[in-house]
Amino acid sequence: QSALTQPASVSGSPGQSITISCTGTSSDVGGYNYVSWYQQHPGKAPKLMIYDVSNRPSGISNRFSASKSGSTASLTISGLQAEDEADYYCTSYTSSSSWVFGGGTKLTVL
């Protein structure tokens, strides 16, 4: 159950787009379309942003989009806003009937 691999940090200016990658294996990301993404602000509980690879829950801005290719999933945030500054985590269901998170990516809006 090794953690999925995410970049430790990414940054972008307001209005720009950024992409966060999430790399796993054929036993998790590559084997299932059950990747989800979470946003976490300091001191707060995580918030679901994307489920099942690319689907947005009701109320989530369409500036958030996601996809998957092979064993790598990606989250893209377009039109960056100051309130997007947060930590982002991916997670995947696994062949062991468990879940595994990525190490998290700190997004800085410059």
In this structure, how many other beta carbons lie within 10 angstroms of the beta carbon of residue 76?
13
| Cβ proximity of 21 and 93 under 8 Å | no
22, 75, 80, 100: residue in contact with another protein (rule CB under 8 A)? 100
| Cβ proximity of 68 and 54 under 8 Å | yes
CB of 93 to another protein, least distance (A): 5
Residue whose tokens read 């999430």: 22
16, 96, 108, 110: residue in contact with another protein (rule CB under 8 A)? 96
Contact track, another protein, 68-87, x by CB under 8 A: -------------------x
Polymer length of the chain = 110
Residue 11 Cα distances to 1, 26, 89, angstroms: 29, 29, 15
15, 17, 103, 108: residue in contact with another protein (rule CB under 8 A)? 103
Contact track, another protein, 1-30, x by CB under 8 A: x-x---------------------------
